[in-house]
Amino acid sequence: MRRSAGIATRSLTVGRARISVRNFAVSSGGKRGGRLLQNRLDCFRDLSDEWRQEVQAVKITKIPAKPKEQKRIRVAAYARVSSDKDAAFHSLEAQVGYYRDYVAVHPDWDLISIYSDNGISGTTDNRPEFQRMLRDCRDGKIYLVVTKSITRFARNIVVLLQTIRELKLLGIDCYFEKEDMHSISPDFRAKRSQMNRGERPVYYVSNSHEAIIDQETFDSVQAELQARAIPGNRKGTEIIRPYHLFHGLIRCGCCGRLYGYHRTNLKQYDKAVWVCPSFYSFGKAVCPSQKIPEDILISKTKEVLEVDKVDRGLLEERIKEIFVPEHNHLTFILMDESEVDVFWEHPSRSLSWTSEMKQRARERALQRYHKEEQ
C-alpha cells in the first residue's frame, strides 16, 4: 500500500520575485519520489530562510493610544403637560424630578437643563421651552434629548418628523423612554468615519517594501527644498541675492510692512521708487506713507556708510533695517544696533509745498475760473 505526502501552497516574496511552492503528492516508496520530495523540501527551506531574513529587516513601530478619557454626554430632558390644572402641574413637577434622578444614575451624563412646557398642547411647535431647547441644540450644547414618550415631545406628526430630522442632521439623538426608541441608532453612528486622534494604537511600518527612490536621492532632495525655503534663494543651494537693491530692508513706520519695489511703465515717469504695499493697494486711508525714490535712498545710504558705491552685499553686511518713521525721514539701523537719522526733500511739488503756497495757488485758480465765466 502506497502512502502519499502533501505540502500546502505557500507564497514567498523574495526581492521583486514572487515564488510559490505548490501542492504536490509523491510516492514514498520510490527513489525518484523520495528525491523529488527532498529537493522540494530543501528549496522550501532555503526560501523560508531568505523570507525570514526579509521579515526581520522590516521595522514596526507601535505608537500606543492615548489614555482613554471617559466621554461625557451632554443631556437635556423635555417634559410637557397640556393642561394647567393642579393635577397637571404636579405631574409636570413629577416629570422634572424624575429626570433629575434619571440623569444622575448615569455617571457619564451631564445634565444641561430640563425644559418644561406647562399648559401647552403638543400639536404646535410654538412652545417657549421647546424652542429654547432647539436653540441650544443648534448651538451645540446638547448631545442627547430624553423625553417620556413621543406624544410628550410632539403630537403633530409634521412637527415631530421635521424636528427629528433636523436634530439628526446635527448629530443629536432623541430617546423616547416609553417606546424605548432612539432617533439615531448605534449603527448610524458607527457608519461615520472618524479620524484616529490617539484613541487607538497606531503602527508605523518601515522597510516593508522597496522604495520608489533610494535614500540618498531622498536626502538630497530634502536638503534642496530646505535651501530653497530661504528668502531670496529660489534657484538652488547657492545663495542667490535678491534682484532689487533694498529688498527686505525698508520698513514702514505707519503699518509696519516692508516696502516694495515699483517702476511705472510710462517713459516720461520712468523712475524706480520704493512704496509701502498698503499705501500702494489701498491708499492713504489705510497707510498715510509716501513713495521714496530709489536714487534718494542710494544717495542717503552712501552718506550714512561713507562709501562711493553701494551693492547688495554691503547692505546685508552693515545695515540691519531702514525705518521710515514719517515723511522725509529715514532711520538707518546698523548691525551694531546704532541708529542714524537722515532727512531728505521730496522732489514732488505737491509734497514739498507749504500751506501758504497751496493757499496762493488755490486763489490763483479761483481767479482764473471766474475770468473764464465772465
Q: Tell whether the model's pLDDT for residue 21 goes beyond 50.
A: no
Q: Which three cell numbers stand for residue 56?
A: 526581520
Statement to judge: residues 181 and 115 lie in one domain: yes
Q: Tell whether the model's pLDDT for residue 73 goes beyond 90.
A: no
Is 245 within a domain?
A: no
For the chain, the domain total comes to 4
Q: What percent of the chain has pLDDT over 90?
A: 8
pLDDT reported for residue 337: 87
pLDDT band at 291 (very low <50, low <70, confident <90, very high): confident
Is 195 within a domain?
A: no
Is 227 within a domain?
A: yes
Give per-residue pLDDT as tens, 38-69. 555 455 455 455 555 555 566 777 777 776 66
Task: Find the mean pLDDT for residues 173-191.
Answer: 73
Statement to judge: residues 82 and 118 lie in one domain: yes
Higher pLDDT, 236 or 207: 207
Statement to judge: residues 229 and 274 lie in one domain: no
Q: HEC states along 204-250?
A: EEECCCCCCCCHHHHHHHHHHHHHHCCCCCCCCCCCCCCCCCCCCCE
Q: Tell whether the model's pLDDT for residue 332 goes beyond 90.
A: yes
Statement to judge: residues 91 and 174 lie in one domain: yes
Distance of alpha carbon 359 from alpha carbon 259, whole angstroms: 33
Statement to judge: residues 226 and 293 lie in one domain: no
The residue range of the domain holding 288 is 250-343
Is 112 within a domain?
A: yes
pLDDT band at 199 (very low <50, low <70, confident <90, very high): low
CA distances from 264 to 57, 202, 284, 292 (A): 64, 58, 19, 14
Is 154 within a domain?
A: yes
Q: Tell whether the model's pLDDT for residue 265 goes beyond 80.
A: no
Statement to judge: residues 88 and 185 lie in one domain: yes
pLDDT reported for residue 210: 78
Is 362 within a domain?
A: no
Statement to judge: residues 8 and 39 lie in one domain: yes
pLDDT band at 322 (very low <50, low <70, confident <90, very high): very high
Statement to judge: residues 176 and 82 lie in one domain: yes
Q: Tell whether the model's pLDDT for residue 214 goes beyond 80.
A: yes
Give per-residue pLDDT as tens, 134-171. 999 888 888 899 988 888 888 888 888 888 888 888 88
Higher pLDDT, 60 or 172: 172
Q: Tell whether the model's pLDDT for residue 364 goes beyond 70.
A: yes
pLDDT reported for residue 295: 86
CA distances from 170 to 153, 162, 164 (A): 18, 13, 10
Is 351 within a domain?
A: no
Statement to judge: residues 109 and 39 lie in one domain: no
Statement to judge: residues 150 and 221 lie in one domain: no
pTM over 0.75? The answer is no
